[in-house]
Structure 1
Amino acid sequence: MDDQELGFKAGEVIRVLDASNKEWWWGMIEEKEAWFPASFVRLRVNQEDAAAECTGKFADERLNASCSKHLLKNTENQRQMRANVIQEIMNTEKVYIKHLKDICEGYIRQCRKHTGMFAEAQLGIIFGNIEDIYKFQRKFLKDLEKLFNKDEPHLSEIGSCFLQH
C-alpha cells in the first residue's frame, strides 16, 4: 500500500467521498482520506437524511453555502454509486448468460451429437436443469434491459424485475 491508498479492516465503515471511478473510490476513515478498491467493500445505503445534517445547524451564510455544496456533491456521489451498482448487476447477468450459453450450446450440444460418449440420463446427472436456468436467465436479462436507462443508469428502476421473477 502507498500513501494514496486507504487501509481498512473488515467491518470498518468508510465514508465514500467520490465514487466517480468504477474501480477505485475516494473515502475517509476517521481523519485519513485516500483511494480504496470498490470491489473490496459492500455498499451500505445511508438511512439518514443528509439534508437533516445541515438544516438549522449553521447561522453563518458561508457555512450554509458550504453545506449546500456538500449536499450537491453527496447527491452526485450517490447517483454515481447507484449507477455503478446497476451497471455491475447488468454486467454480471450478461457474463453469467455467456457462461450458461457456452455450457448449453457448447458442451451439452456436443455431448448429444456423440451418443456413444454419454447417455441422455448421464447428461441429466451431469448438467441437471442448466438448460432451464439458461432459458430463464435470458428472459430475465431481456426484462432487465427493458428497464435499464442507458443514458442515466442511476434512474433505472430494475427492482420490479427481481420481484417479478
Structure 2
Amino acid sequence: MNRNKTCAGERESRDREREMRERERERERGERERERERGEREREREREREREREKRERERERERREREREREREREREREREREREREREREREREREREREREREQRSRERERQRRERTRARRVEREESVEREREKRARSELSPQILSLLSPHIL
C-alpha cells in the first residue's frame, strides 16, 4: 500500500510536471502567436505607411507636373502675346511705309502739277509774244513806205 502511495505520488508529481510543461509550452505558444500577430500588425502598419507615402509622393508629382504644365501654358501665352506685339509693330511699320509712299505720290503729283503750270505759263507767254510779234509784223507791213523808211533805223 505504501508502494502504491509512492507510485501514486510519483504519478501525481509527474502529472503536475507534465501539466506545468504543457502550460509552459501553451504559454510560449501563445506568446509566439501574439509576437507573430504583433509582427504582422507592425508589417501591415508599415505597408500602410508606405502606401500613404507613395500616395503623397504621387500627389506631389501630379501637382508638380500640373504646375509645370501651367508654367508652360503661361510661357506659350507670353510667346503668343510677343508674336502679336511683333505683328502689330509690323502692321505699324507697313502703315508708316504706306504713309511715306503716299507723301511721295503727293509730292510727285505736286511737282507734276507745278511743271504743268510752268509749261502752260511758258506756252501762254510764248503765244502772247508770238501774237505780239505777228501784230508788229502786220503793223509794219501796213505802214506806208514813207513812215517805214522813217522808222526803219529805229525799229529794225
TM bin, normalised by shorter chain, reads: 0.3 to 0.5
Larger of the two Rg values belongs to structure? 2
TM-score normalised by length of structure 1: 0.33
Structure with the bigger RCO (C-alpha within 8 Å, sep 6+) is 1
TM-score normalised by length of structure 2: 0.35
Instruction: Give the structure with the larger helix fraction.
Output: 2
